[in-house]
Copies of this chain bind each other. A is one copy, B any other.
Amino acid sequence: MQLETYFPYRLALAAEAFSQKLVEVYGRKYGLSREEWRLLLLLAEAQQLSSHELAQRTTLDKVQISRASKRLEDKNLITREISQVDKRLRVYACTQTGQALFAEVFPQVDAQANVVLAKLSEEDRAALVQGIEALARAVANNQS
């Protein structure tokens, strides 16, 4: 068994490396963790979201959301107000600063992603998208 050619390993490695290229932009350059980036991404385009919506749309659990959102609040990128409907809940929204940061960073992240994807042939890129979508469906099926 050659680790280097073992498919699950190849998949993990390629995905990690690709993700790393993007972290270099929003992480190294702007000091955002992946969780923070994902939340900011969602909040930048929504008026406001509940933590429940955030959890559903990011696969982050409540602890991760609590921590990441707190850090974003400390950086003045989002607000997290207590819901008046149900005072256990929080309602998250992006600040002007957060909007501005997102508008600055996202194009760079997207460009970085495209730099990598542009290296693939049209055919390979299509295969990648098809394969990943199929894999996403396969792992989403709630069976072991």
Spell out A's residues near B (CB within 8 Å). 1, 3-4, 7-19, 21-22, 24, 38, 41-42, 45, 57-59, 106, 109, 112-113, 115-117, 119-121, 124-141, 144
A119 touches B141 (CB 8 A): yes
**Beta-carbon nearest neighbor of A109 in chain B:** B8
Choose among B10, B106, B132 the residue that contacts A10 (Cβ–Cβ < 8 A): B132
A136 touches B10 (CB 8 A): yes
Q: How far is the CA of A18 from the CA of B11 in the complex (A)?
A: 9
Question: Would you list 13 pairs from A and B whose C-beta atoms are within 8 A, ordered by A residue?
Answer: A1-B41, A4-B57, A8-B113, A11-B132, A14-B15, A14-B132, A15-B135, A17-B140, A115-B144, A116-B135, A119-B138, A120-B135, A128-B134
Assuming the contacts A3-B42, A42-B3, A57-B4, asked whether A21 and B139 have C-beta atoms less than 8 A apart, the reply is: yes
